Amino acid sequence: MAPPRVLTVAGTDSGGGAGIPADLRTLAVCGVHGCVAVTAVTVQNSVGVTGVHVIPPEVVAAQIESVATDIGLDAAKTGMLAGREVIAAVVAAFDRVGIGGDGPTPLVVDPVAASMHGDPLLAGDALDAYRRDLFPRATVVTPNLDEVRLLTGIDVHDRAGQYDAARALHAMGPRWVLVKGGHLAEDADVCVDLLHDGRTFTELPGPRFATTHTHGGGDTMAAAVAAALARGCPVPEAVAFGKRVVTEGVRHAYPLGAGHGPVSPLWAVPPWWEDRTAPSTGG
Ligand code: PXL
């Protein structure tokens, strides 16, 4: 039996911390098969991004259609989409193969705008395309507070602001909104994400860890949510699952290079190889 299938439409990260490497790692740990439509190649390490090379939009669309029509998909997620030309091609391809909107395949939209170093990963004129074309097709959108500010103009400083932002984002058309609280300075020991479907609000609290190694955290969360949706979980359960994967991922994040190390889902992988490859003690 093949496992559930999930497509990530996202950028690469040569350092292996965020983007497609983080997505595929997370999808594998969550027991699903990951397919890939590359939107951009980024030149980066733990210190920052020094190059972004956008893939031609028609090549992005062709990757989506190729896997959807042969392999089939149980869920999809978007990460770095680079600019409005790629967004337009992705939206058209999604409509052709039934991803998001009223189609059968649920869609997680993580509106990636910048790396944690502050390097831009989205053209400034692409925000309209997100709001107008992608959000109405999303099963759930998962912005952090920097992305919330760009998309809504709301500068969230407290829990009440998180609720305002959730309402404003829901009005843009997604079925569900998850306003992540990782960047909320007023929460010293907790990290509270807020889930909203236009009617109900659910606060998802988790511990906050004193670490700078949070590279790829948003990607890890969105990929885990997509994996759970692909397994047939309703959105609230899928988001609670994603919260658990990313919380434990931050707890188990490791240093790498001179800058920010990656959030790691590898805590969930049993170290079976230690037993099998331990050197013989002789005899
Ligand atoms: O974590 C957001 C993200 C997504 N995709 C790519 C990235 C980053 C952050 O650096 O590089 C390719």
- Hey, how many other C-beta atoms are within 10 angstroms of the C-beta on 152? 21
Q: Whose CA is nearest to atom 4 of ligand 1?
A: 19
- CA dist 242 and 275 (Å) reads 30
Rounded to the nearest angstrom, the distance between the alpha carbon of 235 and the centre of ligand 1 is: 24
Angle of helix 217-230 relative to helix 19-29, nearest 10 degrees, comes to 40
Residue 279 pLDDT class (50, 70, 90 cuts): low
Structure tokens at 153: 């103009």
Quick one: what percent of the chain has pLDDT higher than 90?
A: 90
pLDDT of residue 276: 53
- Structural domain includes residue 271: no
Which residue among 9, 13, 41 is best mutated to probe the pocket of ligand 1, counting the most ligand atoms within 8 A of its Cβ? 13
Q: Whose CA is nearest to atom 6 of ligand 1?
A: 19
pLDDT of residue 143: 98
Question: Considering only CA atoms, which of 109, 139, 121 is closest in space to residue 8?
Answer: 109
Question: Considering only CA atoms, which of 31, 110, 117, 43 is closest in space to residue 74?
Answer: 31
- Structural domain includes residue 261: yes
The CB of 144 under 6 Å from ligand 1? The reply is: no
pLDDT of residue 185: 82
Task: Tell whether the model's pLDDT for residue 26 goes beyond 80.
Answer: yes
Which residue among 121, 122, 180, 213 is best mutated to probe the pocket of ligand 1, counting the most ligand atoms within 8 A of its Cβ? 121
The CB of 221 under 6 Å from ligand 1? The reply is: no
Domain that holds residue 210: 5-266
- Structural domain includes residue 280: no
- pTM reported for the whole predicted model: 0.95
pLDDT of residue 275: 59
- Structural domain includes residue 245: yes
Q: What is the pLDDT of residues 154-192, one digit of tens each?
A: 999 999 999 999 999 999 999 999 999 998 988 889 999
Instruction: Output the CA angle 147-192-11, nearest 5 degrees.
Output: 35
Structure tokens at 12: 């690469």
The CB of 121 under 6 Å from ligand 1? The reply is: yes
Angle of helix 217-230 relative to helix 235-251, nearest 10 degrees, comes to 140
Structural domain tally of the chain?
1
Which residues face 5 on adjacent strands? 33
The CB of 147 under 6 Å from ligand 1? The reply is: no
Letter for the amino acid at 176? W
- Structural domain includes residue 275: no
Instruction: Output the CA angle 261-262-267, nearest 5 degrees.
Output: 120
What phi and psi values does residue 266 have, to the nearest 5 degrees? Answer: -70, -10
CATH number at residue 184: 3.40.1190.20
pLDDT of residue 283: 42
Q: What is the pLDDT of residues 214-271, one digit of tens each?
A: 999 999 999 999 999 999 999 999 999 999 999 999 999 999 999 999 999 998 887 7
Structure tokens at 261: 């190390």
The CB of 82 under 6 Å from ligand 1? The reply is: no
Task: Tell whether the model's pLDDT for residue 195 goes beyond 90.
Answer: yes
* Mean pLDDT, rounded, of the chain: 95
Task: Tell whether the model's pLDDT for residue 97 goes beyond 50.
Answer: yes
The CB of 112 under 6 Å from ligand 1? The reply is: yes
Rounded to the nearest angstrom, the distance between the alpha carbon of 58 and the centre of ligand 1 is: 22
pLDDT of residue 252: 95
pLDDT of residue 281: 55
- Structural domain includes residue 218: yes
- Structural domain includes residue 277: no
Rounded to the nearest angstrom, the distance between the alpha carbon of 193 and the centre of ligand 1 is: 20
Mean pLDDT of 276-280: 53
The CB of 122 under 6 Å from ligand 1? The reply is: no
Mean pLDDT of 71-76: 98
- CA dist 105 and 139 (Å) reads 9
Task: Tell whether the model's pLDDT for residue 32 goes beyond 50.
Answer: yes
Contacts of 9 (CB under 8 A, 6+ apart): 37, 39, 60, 64, 76, 77, 78, 79, 81, 90
Q: What is the pLDDT of residues 44-67, one digit of tens each?
A: 999 999 999 999 999 999 999 999
Question: Considering only CA atoms, which of 9, 254, 259 is closest in space to residue 115?
Answer: 259
